[in-house]
Amino acid sequence: MEFVSTRGGVRCGFIEAFLQGLANDGGLFVPAHVPKVSKDELKSWRGLSYQELFLKIAAPFVGDEIPEQDLKKLVHDSYSTFRSPEVTPVQPIADGLYVLELFHGPTFAFKDVALQFMGNLYAYVSQKYGEKIHIIGATSGDTGAAAIHGVKSKEGIKICILHPHGKVSKVQELQMTSLLDDNVLNLSVRGNFDDCQQIVKELFSDVAFKSEHSLRAVNSINFVRILAQTVYYFYAYFKVADDSMTEEIHFSVPTGNFGDIFAGYLARLMGLPAGKFLLATNENNILERFVNDGVYRPENFKTTYSPAMDIQIASNFERYLYYLHGEDGAAVTRIMNDFREKGLIAAEGDTLRRVQSDFASYAVSNAACLETIKDYNERHGYLLDPHTACGVAAYERMFKNGGGKCVALATAHPAKFDEAIAECGIRQTFPEPIAELWDKPQRMTVVDSDKQQVIEQLLAFFK
């Protein structure tokens, strides 16, 4: 399959899109055409294992660039590390509400679903094509740990992760900084996630630097992240929907960088009978304001109990704009240039009505997040992490009364956010791999939110 940039200036194949991450014109890669899944195919996929389903969905995107047996091995190796044989099991919680548990991978977060596969794919490409792999990424907490665990000690790969200093949970920090492998560099940036993300974007936009140092992307700017996450929307649908394969199932998605919810949107473009995507945010609610009012404009950053959603500028939003504006790369370029100059994207009229047909959105306050954790623990005996709690609180507000079946994405294990759980007066038992973290030494370098300081660290690391 051919991939194109959202800004229209680049076309390439699957592996090249994977290696480039961010297109050289500053856009993000999307498929030149979205493969369609028929109703008969959906019915035939229903009984497949997660790994078998992954292969069915990925095949048209990969094309003939990876031999079938090689792809099978990559998928098998990637998901053999998960604690659940289902990989992403679905749990019924209350009438009409299901939770899709995405936290059964090595770092107890949904990012493992994509990054275990991407880590193995990077190793495969490095070995097969002799490619040098220097991965750089920004994280609000979970991406960094999952990416590092996906490539630690892999030959031919080095990885540098930027995280906001003091603005991730202690477990997230330890999962990143307690891995002392020589191919890992952790930079703790004095700033917030948007500062980290901006530095990474600027490095990838510097085509000469990117090429000279073989920079590769691990954030959801990389389309392979999106592709891998698309699979669990189909998997959850098959677990919840009736046999007709026409029942519309809603999804409530805790949303920060727009990658996870865009994966669901892509699944619907492919033919998944998804209903409404409920975009759940916290008090950093730029996306809620866009869906409800048509105004996308960053405001004051707020620190919350759901730090992975403490984001004002969502990188993957550009992919949605591409489809919203009829796959017109020139239009997206104009919109993104205006946003860079004016700090505003606006939608009105028919455009806003289309947005509201695709998504509903609700912003959950810190207090409501904690109250939802306490309520579901008491009434249903199910402990939610604060991000999942935002998704469930949004469901309660928007879909609970007669809205049909809804799957809420559980994006992390509650043990990763014990600060919030403790605020609820709940004492939880840590899984052994997390409990062991406190006895491990840490290694990280603290830097200012300054691209030049980051470059100096990278040049020394890449030697």
- Number of CB atoms found within 10 A of residue 345's CB: 18
Residues whose CB falls within 8 Å of the CB of residue 43, separated by 6 or more in sequence, listed in order: 245
Write out the two tokens for 196: 């980290």
Contact 270, 42 (CB under 8 A): no
Largest CA distance in the chain: 60
Per-residue confidence (pLDDT) for residue 430, from 0 to 100 = 95
- Number of CB atoms found within 10 A of residue 85's CB: 11
Query: Looking at the domain that runs over 90-108+224-423, which CATH code has it been given?
Result: 3.40.50.1100
Per-residue confidence (pLDDT) for residue 141, from 0 to 100 = 80
**Rounded distance between C-alpha atoms, residue 428 and residue 425, angstroms:** 10
Per-residue confidence (pLDDT) for residue 125, from 0 to 100 = 94
Q: What is the DSSP letter of 302?
A: -
Task: Break the chain into its structural domains and give their ranges.
Answer: 90-108+224-423
**Rounded distance between C-alpha atoms, residue 391 and residue 164, angstroms:** 24
Q: For residue range 8-66, list pLDDT tens digits in order.
A: 989 999 999 999 999 999 999 999 999 999 999 999 999 999 999 999 999 999 999 99
| H-assigned helices in 178-314 | 193-205, 207-212, 223-240, 259-270, 286-293
Helical (H) or strand (E) element with 278: strand 274-281
Active-site residue numbers? 111
Which residues in the chain land under pLDDT 50? Answer: none
Length of the chain: 463
**Rounded distance between C-alpha atoms, residue 455 and residue 203, angstroms:** 9
**Rounded distance between C-alpha atoms, residue 70 and residue 450, angstroms:** 41
Contact 132, 126 (CB under 8 A): yes
Contact 198, 225 (CB under 8 A): no
Q: For residue range 97-112, list pLDDT tens digits in order.
A: 999 999 999 999 999 9
Contact 407, 236 (CB under 8 A): yes
Helix (H/G/I), strand (E/B), else coil: 178: coil
Output the average pLDDT for the chain: 95
Write out the two tokens for 44: 């035939």
**Rounded distance between C-alpha atoms, residue 191 and residue 449, angstroms:** 6
Per-residue confidence (pLDDT) for residue 400, from 0 to 100 = 78
Q: What angle do CA 233, 388, 441 make, to 5 degrees?
A: 105
